Amino acid sequence: MGDSRAILRSWWRDPAHYRWFVRTLESHSGLRLIKAIIGAGGALMLVINILIWMSPAGPSGTAGRTIFAAAGATAAVWTIRWWFFPWPRAITSLAMLIWADLAITASCLVDSDRVYGALSAMLLVVTGAYITFFHSPKALAVHAGWSLLTVSALAILSVADARSSDLALAGAMVLIMVAAIVVVLPALQFCYWVLRIDVLSDPLTTLLNRRGLDYYLHRSRYQQQLCVITLDLDHFKSVNDTFGHIIGDEVLVSTAERLRAAADPDAVVARTGGEEFAVVDQLDRAAALDLGERLRLAVAQASGIPVTVTVSVGVAVWEGGTDDGRPRLLLRCADDAMYRAKRLGGNAVVLAEDPQHATIQLAEPAREMAHGTE
């Protein structure tokens, strides 16, 4: 039960990184197709709106027709936006969804036929499906709450309407929306999240893999400071050659556990290659060097494995605001610093002093670099 709660908390807190998913679609040549499909959804909503307008069960009165006209205009703008303009930013996407939800709810409530209005409310499932894949569980929860308020209002109006008062039907309307939006869509989003986490994780160590590191690096663009630490086990090939790959796997698992224990709770820890690891955190230079030294010592002091291993550590720090390209640049700088540590014989920490990698300052021994000149 405890593990289940922890998994649910991780899912709830996951940012569902919008830009990463968009780039993934683009890299597989699927972005244009998805844009066309989402735009087609708006076109279908426009056709539905027109058909309801033409029906005797459609809106009545000036206010009702005005609201329906606004909803139709929203559907038309939605279609044009998705078909003829670039993919929107995350904040624009959410704003468009809010606008669409308001338009759907308004048109449902002014429909003179309450059952027809309840059927139109199912369009909220369409916008909910978009949120399921592109936005966070919190955004989906807000949408689910709004959808339930909408269908509850429709149910109350249905019961109050002398022509179609049916308490059982009103209850069924609410339960249908609960099944669709409160049960199905969150379950679908959770399954999608599990699959995404599995794709982004290393099966041996359960750390993030290189793709997972790239996913989480993009969350750092709004931070004021960022450090990237890369680590490579020294002479790991000899471990495999001497003790076999089973022991080599034990070494990798033990290293992953020690890195995760030594790193700060909010740090991102990844296995980026065979015996290569990376740690990303929001630390200034002094704290990053201290962390690099802790990681080095944690690996060197490992117990429970039949071989002693050491690690070469490279540290790169940027103390200004980050942008899209900065994390990748820091990763390259940290890699270069780590290879310099290897050329010194390993079991050392090297600092890439300049984020642009114009110069790299080396301090030896590693303990001096981590804690300052003693």
In this predicted structure, what is the pLDDT of residue 50? 86
pLDDT tens by residue, 174-195: 888 888 888 999 999 999 999 9
The more confident residue out of 53 and 190 is 190
Q: Is pLDDT above 90 for 260?
A: yes
Of 112, 201, 202, 124, residue with least CA distance to 164? 112
SS3 breakdown of the chain: % helix, strand, coil, rounded to 5? 65, 10, 25
Model pLDDT, residue 357 = 43
Percent of the chain predicted with pLDDT > 90: 45
Confidence of residue 116 (pLDDT cuts 50, 70, 90): confident
Highest mean pLDDT among 17-21, 305-309, 332-336, 356-360: 332-336
Contact by Cβ (8 Å): 110, 63: yes
Q: What is the pTM (predicted TM-score) of this model? A: 0.76
pLDDT of residue 39: 95
pLDDT at residue 170, rounded to an integer: 73
User: H helices of 2-134, where?
Assistant: 2-13, 18-27, 31-54, 61-84, 90-109, 114-121, 123-134
Q: What is the pLDDT of residues 126-173, one digit of tens each?
A: 999 999 999 999 999 999 999 999 988 888 887 777 555 667 777 787
Using the predicted structure, report yes or no on whether residue 222 has a pLDDT greater than 80.
Answer: no
Residue, of 16 and 276, whose pLDDT is higher:
276
In the predicted model, is pLDDT for residue 367 greater than 60? Answer: no
pLDDT for position 62:
82
Q: How far apart are CA 302 and CA 317, in angstroms?
A: 27
- What are 305-350's pLDDT values in tens digits? 777 889 999 999 987 655 555 777 888 899 999 999 999 999 999 9
SS3 278: strand
Confidence of residue 53 (pLDDT cuts 50, 70, 90): confident
**What pLDDT is stored for residue 370 in this prediction?**
37
Q: In which residue are the tokens 């802790």 written?
A: 294
- In terms of pLDDT, which residue wins out, 32 or 367? 32
Q: Which of 171, 119, 128 is nearest to 147 (CA)?
A: 128
Extents of the domains making up the chain: 2-199, 210-371
**CATH architecture for residues 210-371:** 2-Layer Sandwich (3.30)
Write the DSSP string, 67-81. Answer: HHHHHHHHHHHHHHH
Q: For 311, list phi and psi in degrees, rounded to 5.
A: -140, 145
